[in-house]
Amino acid sequence: MPWVTVEPSGARFEVREGESVAEAAWRQGYVWPTKCWGQADCMSCFTKIVDGELSAVPAGTEELDAMRLKMVARVRGPMVRLACRLTVRKDGLVLHKQGVRVPEDVPS
């Protein structure tokens, strides 16, 4: 399973095949900001890819349309993705997302 790193929290966790980054984080006890819990509606889960962009599966039509219609233009960009739709194909993806919190039982 691929590993994802999230800055500035230093969170590092595995993502199963077909699982979104947000779902993987929630499954493992991490806090990933959201209001709609994976419906691509609130845009709260957006994240920025800072390294390893080839490790990410390209955004699909649903994700791109949701961001175009619901996300403020100044926030959108080529490396901005919705964590509730972002899936991973291999190790090396590094994301930036404020508000991600590591579970207390994960060693630092």
pLDDT 10s digits, 30-78: 999 999 999 999 999 999 999 999 999 999 999 999 999 999 999 999 9
- Distance, CA of 104 to CA of 69 (rounded, Å): 37
Q: Is residue 31 part of a domain?
A: yes
Q: Is residue 14 within 8 Å of residue 24, measured between CB atoms?
A: yes
pTM for the complete prediction?
0.94
Q: Is residue 108 part of a domain?
A: no
Residue numbers of the domain that contains 7: 3-96
The structural domain count of the chain equals: 1
Per-residue pLDDT, averaged over 24-35, amounts to 97
Q: Give me the pLDDT at residue 71, please.
A: 97
Count H helices, E strands: the chain? 2, 5
Q: Give me the pLDDT at residue 86, please.
A: 98
Element at 14 (helix H, strand E): strand 11-14
DSSP conformational letter for 29: T
- Distance, CA of 17 to CA of 3 (rounded, Å): 11
